[in-house]
Structure 1
Amino acid sequence: MSEVTITTEQGAWKPSACILCECNCGIEVLVEPDTGRFAKIRGDKLHPSSEGYTCNKALRLDAYQNGRNERITVPLRRRGDGSFEEVDWDTALTEITERLERLRDEHGGESIFYYGGGGQGNHLGGAYAPAMMAAFGARYRSNALAQEKTGEFWVSARMLGRPHRSDFERCEVAVFLGKNPYQSHGFPRARSVLKEIAKDPARSMIVIDPVRTETAELADFHLQLRPGTDLHVVTAMVAVLVQEDLIDHVWLAEHTDGLDAVVAAMREVVVTDHCAVADVDEDLVRAAVRRLAAAESVAVLEDLGVQMNRHSTVVSYVEKLIWLLTGNFAKPGTQYVFSGLAPIARDRGLTFDQTPRTRVSGAPIISGLFPCNSIPDEILTDHPDRFRAAIVESSNPVHSLADSERMTEAFRALDLVVVIDIAMTETAREADYVLPTPTQFEKYEATFFDFEFPRNLFHLRRPLLDPPAGQLAEPEIHARLCELAGAVGEADYAPLREALGQGREAFAHAMMGVLGDRRLAKLVPVLLYRTLGPTLPDGAAAAAVLWGASLLCAIENPAGVARAGYGDGLMAGDRLFEAILAGAHGVVITDDEYDASWKRLGDRRVQLDVPELLDVVRRLGAETPAGPDPDYPLVLAAGERRAFTANTIFRDPTWRRRDPQGALRMSQADAAALSLATGDRVRVSTRRGSAEAPVEVVDTMRQGHISLPNGLGLTSQDGEQVGVRLNNLTVSEDRDEFVGTPWHKFVPASVEKL
């Protein structure tokens, strides 16, 4: 679909997308021509997925583009006294290359660590980073997914062999576990879909959450469990399915292995005891399970409330048993395996004994992502294999990862830190070089979080504004570093340019030859950028990597690409790519039939028995739950999603219209015990640190449970900090026993009145 730009006296409405959560809803922005300000923002009705829907957060994106964001406009180099000086691009990139090469030659490329690759909406630049890593022999990388999703990634690989998503648009029963989609979204048109389910007497909603969230308010069943007891609740639910014989025996016999082991374990579960530990009503649990077992379709979604909590990997496993034992897969309104332009979390289904490990601490590496909580362990040591350098792109790990003080200490111990970002972030302040890039609205950008089914889409966003003079986008930075390192050059580009001159089909065959070259195969993104990139219209060189992704999509899913209207054969991918380039509002890339989920699994049967995890479930009933720590008797959920919180690309705190300081929420009972009222100030303390915050007394929290919002605590260059910096309170040692994800939603804490 071609771009539609409507001009008014104030400026022009231009299509783009929100960059604050994985949904990336389509928006239209009224850009003031003289100031570049976003005068108005509205939902884009031509967007194939969001169809005009957006939440309140997207409407404040001018605060990202034009707010007090501490923008960097020239490369910076740290002086000996710790201050920064401006340098030109050639100097910065040449010196960075020389220092990386020296570290590689002395300590091996494995000593160079890469973190990031984009936030919720800027993945396109990060697609070029693997080539840069290859140029310096770097092997290890990580990003925010490694402190959130790797447990679920590993479980999905063991059970299904592929990642999956859920169809809430069509489901009869929706189940949300540690998830409040009213605020955190997670699927298209989340608030509208939730309201549709709540209004329909034929549909039901089950919420498992210690907080009575906005989503829980709409639910038919709210299991308001004690914080940290999610495993007890989901185990009780699966036990009810087994013990009341509510499972789909015919479907399970046809599609799964390992049922006997699961049934045997669940028959031993004492449902009453598990409900007592979680402090949820057993009759309510049984009623919720019977409702979902009777439904024609059930969609289930877990999120950070459990993925950053105790037993997170085991919870992910047992949660999947709920919908697998009832046959809720590969049909409308259930779970599906999605297509996409880029592979997301495609693990090999290895056991934990087979999983690759980090070189110093031996932590597991899931989906190729280094565990975030282990990063300081791999630096703050005299081990010869420790990390010596970090390249951080469009991310802020010093602020966003657990235990900020220790993370800062680790970054300061590195021989070289390079940050590629638009702002002087907390991580940038620890860097040796800071390389400025255009904002997400000043360059071509996209997200690879394209998870929808049966019609999946991709949105290549065009720049709304010109960047400040002299800035380089991430693809150019990565390409120049590769060239300065001598990894790739004109001799490699020339044959490809010659082939391209004969047409895209000849170019495709030439690129296939490149894939057979061990050296060049790792540099394909830069090869595409330097050869195909300059031929793309309107300065869209950064989109060149999408050509290769489109061809791969057509090869992996020819039927879905053909059904979406791009034909078949080798050049179907090229036609798909052209549609992506032309589709300013986003385009449908694949249109699948429902049996596509089974086809993506191949001849693999679903594995119900994951022995490492089922053993934990078996032992759960015999364990005596630990009581509260007398020094820290409360449980802090660090990072609650609220109406005016978002990821920290919003560095200007004035974007928040409500709760600007990020209040500590607590129950009426806890407030009464501490003689607190809304507006009082308190000190919240953990084993790691303490912080001050105002209090908001609410009736939605359980006694003993408190919360602070995400997205606050950023410190400006003049030292102003608004809200609590959560990771001054979190402890890196508190992590999942299998994959190392942090317990941000289960932080023992105390509160005292100021």
Structure 2
Amino acid sequence: MTDPTETTERRFESNPTVCPFCGVGCSIEYAGRGSATGVEGPVNDRGEICPKGAAAFDVVDHDDRLTEPLVRHNGRFVTAPWEEALDRVASGIGDVVDEHGPDAVQFFASSNCTNEENYVLQKLARVLGTNNVDNCARLCHASTVAAMSERFGAGAMTNTLDDLGEADCIFVNGANPAEQHPVAFRSYVLPAVRDGATLVHVDPRANDTTEAADVHLPLRPGTDIQLLNAIAAVLTEEGLVDEAFLAERTTGFDRLREHLADVDVAASAEAAGVDPGVIREAARAYGGADRAAIVTGMGTSQHRCGTDNVHALLNLALLTGNIGRPGTGVNPLRGQNNVQGASDVGGLPSVLPGYEPVTDAAARERVAAEWGVEPPAEPGLTEVEATHRFGDEVRAAVVFGENPAVTEPDATAVASAFDELDFCVVIDLFETRTAAHADVVLPGSAWAEKSGTVTNTDRRVMRMRPNADLPGNARRDFEILAGLGRRLTDRPDAFDYEGPEAAFDELTRVAPIYEGMSYEGIGDGYQRWPFSERDGTGTEVLHADTFATGERTAPLAVVDPVPPVDDLDADELTLTTGRVLQHFNSGALSRRSDRLMAMRGEDALRVHPSDAAERGIEDGDRVTVSNERGSVEVAAEVTPAVREGVAFCTFHYAEPLANALTGGTLDPAAKIPEFKHSAVAVEPAPEGDATAESDGAGAD
């Protein structure tokens, strides 16, 4: 074993790989001196990258990286040999399974790790006997997937980044791609706008995306349905619907039209806090375009009614026939580099790889033919449901590359819940807040130290290649997970892989959407799902002739507004959260990035000038933000970019921990929490009680 006190020079080399940050999937490689550079790739064909990508190597060679396994001894962590640590994991998980059954274990997959790693993790859970596996897509786009899957049969981007250039109108709802997906915005959205496309932006605050917009709708958080129903009402009222498409490709139009006839546009505008004239302007821009594309983000999905929000958004595309053609569609932008892939490969509790329901007997039989074990037929718990049951029916957790003690809502309660577990193992790069509650922490591999594949936001499967060797005695995540599969299950042969490529080959036999793909076929480019081995291409535009449900038609939906969970007192503000350009959301990637930390300045609560004046707050003052769930202290940034009555805070850092204030009420369909609407009191902080900033983390 390597002497942990011995220092050795790490080897770095330049190999094209995929940026570990957002779901755009830019190609980067090692550029020397601890930095990354962009290289020409499938998405960034000019080799451009954003500030996040430029800082991607900061985390790889950081002094705080874990390099030895840690085991808890007398309440404290001590380093241990790998065999001892793995034996502790096997006995800890094994004891829970023996006493309480496999459904007492929850597996947390990782949306910033590879398809092959997540595939092995979900296989481990199911061979062990449980469908309790989930990833942080649950915290960002679960409601998007739920609504789109129900109506269209697939929860992924309907079109491609490339064909956004063919749109005459781009309707950005609850997303800020200029800061959150900068290369996608600069390379695909802005060129379309410069060519004459109208950009409509729906967001409670003005930001960099708004600067490029022709129309801005600064709605009150939690009023998406009122706003979208009002736009739909204008479309029907002013004859901006596609009658031929409605007749041939939809059902339920008469019922929806009757419902929309009762929608008072002016009253809906008042509820949303926007000008009714601007609603009509947005409706005419979208409905009057030959090709209109919707781009959507977490501002739409992260609500207790997120699924209904997306249903209301889908109505706009169906009413106007903007589906199944280039330059149209509904296009969710994923937050981390493999949110799409982690879900594709089965890192969800209700579906097998390729999104086939665990309740589908034929799908289970096909998987069993490959694995030698049939997966359970009962859907498992989502990650938020599981943390709510820690210490009761859930007694153990395997946390891979995630930090739920920070990323989940009501985070203080979640952190305490981890202490109720009988056993917890964390695989990560650093001692995160979640790792602080673990019994064993295994040092894994960063993005630049691994090979495999990831799937970007428009369904492109791309290769990851190593640019660095491992620090100290850390191990590659794939090896750790396969090793756990051999130790924890009675089918060790099912986890005897020669490497990630063997797992990918198995995935292509299990997941129909990946069938026919190969490392050789991907090469330095990509293969897109659903893939056709016959002609060697993937489908760019979904739902052209039939929907993924197999039906020619998709239903229109009547959607009624759902009130937010938190009622506001007269002196409270609505807290909403999000990302900004120089930040990222996962502690495993940027929590200790010196370059990003230097760029960020001080994290701040953004407050409208009138709200600040009422509370005696000036720009730069320390303020206390609190509700019944917790309290945080942060600097105030007084700015008219945030609408009155709303406060905005990023969720990137453990201090201030914004998710100490967010609530755990779940969307009934998608089980996604309410992140975008929390009632908070904001007041000047007591003098001399400043809270120190610390490492960062957050939800996708």
User: Structure 2 length normalisation: TM-score?
Assistant: 0.83
Distance 2:418 2:389 in 1: 11
Choose from 678, 684, 687 the match for 2:625: 684
Equivalent in the alignment of 1:647: 586
Distance 2:658 2:462 in 1: 33
> Does 337-346 or 246-255 show the bigger shift?
337-346
Map Cα deviations across residues 230-250 of structure 1 (whole Å, 9 max, x no partner): 111001111111222321111
Q: Secondary structure at the match of 1:656?
A: helix
Contact 2:575 2:648 in 1 (8 A): yes
Instruction: Give percent identity, aligned residues only.
Output: 25
Kindly provide the amino acid, as one letter, of the partner of residue 54 in structure 2: L
Equivalent in the alignment of 1:498: none
Kindly provide the amino acid, as one letter, of the partner of residue 244 in structure 2: V
Choose from 150, 169, 172 the match for 2:168: 172
TM-aligned CA distance change 1:406 to 1:337, over 3 Å: closer
Distance 2:612 2:413 in 1: 32
Residue 597 of structure 1 deviates from its aligned partner by 4.5
Residue 192 of structure 1 deviates from its aligned partner by 3.1
Equivalent in the alignment of 1:129: 121
Map Cα deviations across residues 81-126 of structure 1 (whole Å, 9 max, x no partner): 310122222222223222322221221111111012x233544322
2:108 equivalent to 1:115: yes
Equivalent in the alignment of 2:480: 477
Distance 1:271 1:49 in 2: 41
Choose from 218, 236, 244 the match for 2:230: 236
Aligned 1:340-379 pairs, distance under 5 A: 342=344, 370-379=381-390
Equivalent in the alignment of 2:256: 262
Equivalent in the alignment of 2:698: none
Distance 1:587 1:552 in 2: 17
Map Cα deviations across residues 3-54 of structure 1 (whole Å, 9 max, x no partner): xxxxxxx98643222111111211132135xxxxx2x422212445554121
Equivalent in the alignment of 2:551: 604
Residue 284 of structure 1 deviates from its aligned partner by 1.3
Equivalent in the alignment of 1:577: 519
Distance 2:148 2:443 in 1: 38
Equivalent in the alignment of 2:3: none
Kindly provide the amino acid, as one letter, of the partner of residue 374 in structure 1: E
Distance 2:564 2:307 in 1: 20
Contact 1:173 1:206 in 2 (8 A): yes
Distance 2:432 2:146 in 1: 32
Kindly provide the amino acid, as one letter, of the partner of residue 482 in structure 1: G
2:101 equivalent to 1:105: no
Equivalent in the alignment of 2:367: none
Equivalent in the alignment of 1:444: 451
Residue 297 of structure 1 deviates from its aligned partner by 0.8
Equivalent in the alignment of 1:548: 506
Equivalent in the alignment of 2:560: 616
Equivalent in the alignment of 2:37: 42
2:314 equivalent to 1:320: yes
User: Aligned pairs, how many?
Assistant: 632
Equivalent in the alignment of 1:18: 19
Q: Secondary structure at the match of 1:657?
A: helix
Aligned 1:156-555 pairs, distance under 5 A: 156-165=148-157, 166-167=159-160, 168-185=164-181, 189-201=184-196, 203-309=197-303, 311-335=305-329, 342=344, 370-381=381-392, 386-449=393-456, 451-452=458-459, 457-485=460-488, 487-489=490-492, 492=493, 523=494, 526-527=495-496, 529=497, 533=498, 541-550=499-508
TM-aligned CA distance change 1:76 to 1:595, over 3 Å: closer
TM-aligned CA distance change 1:602 to 1:400, over 3 Å: closer
Aligned 1:586-605 pairs, distance under 5 A: 590-592=537-539, 594=541, 597-598=544-545, 601=548, 603-605=550-552
Kindly provide the amino acid, as one letter, of the partner of residue 725 in structure 1: L
Contact 1:259 1:609 in 2 (8 A): yes
Map Cα deviations across residues 159-197 of structure 1 (whole Å, 9 max, x no partner): 1111231442321110111110111129x6322333223
Kindly provide the amino acid, as one letter, of the partner of residue 177 in structure 2: P
Distance 1:667 1:397 in 2: 31
TM-aligned CA distance change 1:730 to 1:97, over 3 Å: same
TM-aligned CA distance change 1:545 to 1:153, over 3 Å: same
Kindly provide the amino acid, as one letter, of the partner of residue 149 in structure 1: H
Distance 1:702 1:450 in 2: 30
> Does 426-435 or 437-446 show the bigger shift?
437-446
Residue 753 of structure 1 deviates from its aligned partner by 1.4
Equivalent in the alignment of 2:680: 749
Distance 2:213 2:49 in 1: 22
Q: Secondary structure at the match of 1:375?
A: helix
Aligned 1:76-87 pairs, distance under 5 A: 76-79=70-73, 81-87=74-80
TM-aligned CA distance change 1:625 to 1:422, over 3 Å: closer
Residue 305 of structure 1 deviates from its aligned partner by 1.2
Q: Secondary structure at the match of 1:31?
A: coil
Kindly provide the amino acid, as one letter, of the partner of residue 144 in structure 2: E
Kindly provide the amino acid, as one letter, of the partner of residue 577 in structure 1: Y
Distance 2:94 2:88 in 1: 10
Kindly provide the amino acid, as one letter, of the partner of residue 252 in structure 1: L
Q: Secondary structure at the match of 2:586?
A: coil
Q: Secondary structure at the match of 2:189?
A: helix
Q: Secondary structure at the match of 2:680?
A: strand
Distance 1:449 1:693 in 2: 34
Map Cα deviations across residues 432-477 of structure 1 (whole Å, 9 max, x no partner): 111111221112143233525xxxx332121111113533322222
Kindly provide the amino acid, as one letter, of the partner of residue 667 in structure 2: D
Residue 216 of structure 1 deviates from its aligned partner by 1.2
Contact 2:146 2:669 in 1 (8 A): no
2:569 equivalent to 1:629: yes
Q: Secondary structure at the match of 1:324?
A: helix
TM-aligned CA distance change 1:183 to 1:413, over 3 Å: same
Distance 2:358 2:322 in 1: 25
Distance 1:598 1:120 in 2: 34
Distance 1:600 1:343 in 2: 21
Q: Secondary structure at the match of 2:486?
A: helix
Q: Secondary structure at the match of 1:132?
A: helix
Q: Secondary structure at the match of 2:648?
A: strand
Kindly provide the amino acid, as one letter, of the partner of residue 501 in structure 2: A
> Does 411-420 or 599-608 show the bigger shift?
599-608
Q: Secondary structure at the match of 1:169?
A: helix
Map Cα deviations across residues 265-290 of structure 1 (whole Å, 9 max, x no partner): 11111111111111211111112111
Map Cα deviations across residues 644-703 of structure 1 (whole Å, 9 max, x no partner): 344322121532334432011111222222232222111111221111111111121111
List gaps (5 residues or longer) in structure 2: 1-10, 333-339, 360-375, 529-535, 686-700
Map Cα deviations across residues 519-558 of structure 1 (whole Å, 9 max, x no partner): xxxx4xx24x1xxx2xxxxxxx2232122344567x7588
Map Cα deviations across residues 493-525 of structure 1 (whole Å, 9 max, x no partner): xxxxxxxxxxxxxxxxxxxxxxxxxxxxxx4xx
Contact 2:424 2:437 in 1 (8 A): yes
Distance 2:564 2:221 in 1: 16
Q: Which has the larger radius of gyration?
A: 1
Distance 1:604 1:421 in 2: 43
Equivalent in the alignment of 1:64: 59
